[in-house]
Chain A
Amino acid sequence: MPDENKPDVARWVDEGARAIGLTIAPEYRANVIVNVERSLAIVQPLLSVELDDDLTPLPVYRP
C-alpha cells in the first residue's frame, strides 16, 4: 500500500527541473531521482531539530 506521506520524488524531479529550466536527459533522470531520494533520507536529522525563532543564520556579508 503506498505511503501517502511519502513524496513522489519522480514527479518532484520532473516538475522542479521544469520550474528552473533544467533539461534532464532520460538517461540521467533515474540517477537524479536516486540522489534526491538520498538527500531526503540524509536531511532527516536536520529537519527533526527544532530551532528558536530568534536563531538567524550567521551572516558573512559585510556591507
Chain B
Amino acid sequence: MSDPLSKAATAADIARAVAGGAVKAGDVVDAALKRIAAAEPTVNAFTDIVAERATKRAAEIDAGKVKGPLAGVPFAVKNLFDIEGLPTRAGSKINNDGPKARRDGALVRRLEEAGAILVGGLNMGEYAYDFTGENAHYGPSRNPHDPTRMTGGSSGGSGAAVAAGEVPLALGSDTNGSIRVPSSLCGLFGLKPTYGRLSRAGSFPFVDAFDHLGPLARSAEDLALSFDAMQGWDPEDPVCTDRDIEPTVPTLHDGIDGLKIAIAGDYFARGGEPECFEAVATVAGALGATRTIVLPNAAAARAAAYVITAMEGGQLHLPRLRTRPQDFDPDTRERLMAGNLLPGSWYVKAQRFRRQYRAEVLKLFDEVDIVLAPATPCSAPRLGQVMMTIGGAELPVRANFGLFTQPISFIGLPVVAVPTRKPGAMPIGVQVIARPYGETAALRVAAFLEKQGICVSTPA
C-alpha cells in the first residue's frame, strides 16, 4: 500500500486510509491540488480546477457527513461531463461560450455519493472526435512518460492526469476507443463498459450509437471500485440498462480459473507495429492463452463504425458548422463537414451490418469468455505527428489509431485496457474483451495480470 498522500497512491489505498482514520480527506485533497499545480505546466491535463468545492467536500467527509467505498478519493472528469457552475466545454471553444451546467453529470454524482471528491475538468480532443489528445484551443495534453509525445485521445487529459499521479482516478468517454487509446499510450488500466451499462446523462454526446463512459486508473481494483459505484439504471439516459447491478469487487481476485481465453487473430494480428503484437503475446503467455479466434468481417466493422461516427457526429454539429466554422479546431472541422456529405445508404448499411456482426461475434462467446487484442497499433506518437508508419505503410494518425478498438465498441462489448511496458520503452496496452455485461470476467483477468506483475501502472 502506497502513502495515501503520494502520487503513487491508488483510489483503494486512499479510501482505506481515510476510512481507517490514518489520513484526513482534507489532506488528501490538498496533496492532490499541490501535485496538480506542480505537474500542469508539463502535462496540461486540466482545463478547470474546482479547489474550493473539493476542499469543502473533503471537510464534509472528515466531519463524517459522507461515507462510502471511495470516501476521500480525489477524481477528475473529461470536460464533456457536466460540472455544476461550469460550461461543459467538450474540448471546444464554442461550448465554452455556452450556458453553465446546472448540476453535475450522473456519474459525477454517483462517485460523489460514494465519497469521492471531484477536483476538476480535464482536457480532451474537440468534441471527442480525436485519438491524439491534441487540442487547438487549450493545447495538447502531454504524455507524462514523455511530454514530447501524445497522450492519445480523446480522453487525453484523463490519461495524463492519472499517469502523472495528479489524481488516482479519472472518467473519460469512449466512442471508438477514447478510453482505451489513452490508457494504452499512458500505461493505465481503463474500462470501457458494455454499451448502456453506465448512464451518460449529463455528458455532451458525440455518437449516440457508440458513446460509452468509464474510468481510467492505475489499478484494476480502482476500476472495479469506481465501476461498482457508478452502476445502476438511470431513466435520464434512454439506452441505460435496467439490469440489476452486478458488483465486480467481490470476485476481482478470484483469478482466471474457469475462464476460456483466446487471442484475436486475422485482422487483429496485422496492421500494427511489432510492439503491439508483442504486448498481446506477453499477456496471452501469462494467461496461458494459446487459442486464436477470428472475429469475422472485422475490417467491415471498423469501416461501419467509421461511417456511423462521421455521419452521426457530423450531423450533430451541422448547426455549428454553419454558424461558427471558424471557431472549430481545424483538425475537427473538416472531418465533421465531410461527415455531413456521405451517402445515407452507407449509414443504413452500416447499421444493418452491425446486427449481423453482433450475431457472429456473440456466437464466438459461446466458446470463449475473453478475447485478447491490441489496444493501439503502436505506442505514443510524437506531438504534432500527422502520419505514422504501420506495417510499412504511411497512414494518417487520426483516422487510423482506432483500428483495433473500433470493431469492438461498434457492438458495445466491455473491454478492460491493460498496460504493458518494456524497459526503456513507452507503454502500450492490450484489450481484454468480454461478452456483453461481462465486466466481472474482464476485471478478474486484469487483476490477475496485475498480481502477476505483467500489467503494472506506475505514475511518471
Q: Which residue of A lies closest to B209 (CB)?
A: A60
Give the complex CA separation of A35 and B340 in angstroms: 11
CB distance A43 to B306 under 8 Å? yes
CB distance B355 to A57 under 8 Å? yes
What 0/1 readout, one digit per residue, does chain B (286-319) give for beta carbons within 8 Å of chain A?
A: 0000000000010110111011001000000010
CB distance B303 to A56 under 8 Å? no
Most buried by A among B239, B337, B351: B337
Smallest CB separation, B396 vs chain A (Å): 7
Give the complex CA separation of A24 and B120 in angstroms: 36
CB distance B358 to A42 under 8 Å? no
Q: Chain A residues near B346: list those with CB within 8 A.
A: 43, 46-47
CB distance A17 to B341 under 8 Å? yes
What 0/1 readout, one digit per residue, does chain A (24-55) give for beta carbons within 8 Å of chain B?
A: 11001001101110110011111111010001
Q: Could you tell me the dominant secondary structure of chain B's interface residues?
A: helix
CB distance B338 to A36 under 8 Å? yes
Given contacts A17-B341, A49-B297, contact A31 B355 (CB under 8 A): no
Smallest CB separation, B411 vs chain A (Å): 9
Q: Check B259 for interface membership: any CB of A closer than 8 A.
A: no
Q: Chain A residues near B300: list those with CB within 8 A.
A: 45-46, 48-49
Given contacts A17-B341, A58-B354, contact A31 B349 (CB under 8 A): no
CB distance B342 to A46 under 8 Å? no
CB distance A39 to B356 under 8 Å? no
Q: Chain A residues near B335: list those with CB within 8 A.
A: 35
Q: Check A5 for interface membership: any CB of B closer than 8 A.
A: no
CB distance B322 to A32 under 8 Å? no
Q: Check A22 for interface membership: any CB of B closer than 8 A.
A: yes
Q: Check A20 for interface membership: any CB of B closer than 8 A.
A: yes
Q: Which residue of A lies closest to B347 (CB)?
A: A57
Q: Check B333 for interface membership: any CB of A closer than 8 A.
A: yes
CB distance B334 to A35 under 8 Å? yes
Q: Chain B residues near A43: list those with CB within 8 A.
A: 303, 306-307, 342, 346
CB distance B349 to A39 under 8 Å? no
Q: Check A6 for interface membership: any CB of B closer than 8 A.
A: no
CB distance A51 to B354 under 8 Å? no
Give the complex CA separation of A43 and B307 in angstroms: 7
Q: Check A21 for interface membership: any CB of B closer than 8 A.
A: yes
Given contacts A38-B399, A42-B399, contact A47 B341 (CB under 8 A): no
Within the complex, which residue of B299, B318, B354 is in contact with A45, where a contact is CB–CB below 8 Å? B299
Given contacts A22-B318, A31-B334, A58-B355, contact A39 B310 (CB under 8 A): yes
List which B222-251 residues lie within 8 A (CB) of chain A: 238-239
Q: Chain B residues near A48: list those with CB within 8 A.
A: 300
Q: Chain B residues near A44: list those with CB within 8 A.
A: 303
Q: Check B38 for interface membership: any CB of A closer than 8 A.
A: no
CB distance B334 to A28 under 8 Å? yes
Give the complex CA separation of A56 and B349 in angstroms: 9
Smallest CB separation, A40 vs chain B (Å): 9
CB distance B337 to A28 under 8 Å? yes
| Residues in chain A within 8 A of chain B (CB atoms) | 12-13, 16-17, 20-25, 28, 31-32, 34-36, 38-39, 42-49, 51, 55-58, 60, 62
Sort A-B residue pairs by CB-CB distance and give the 10 closest, nearest first.
A35-B338, A57-B351, A46-B303, A16-B341, A31-B334, A45-B299, A45-B300, A45-B303, A46-B300, A36-B338
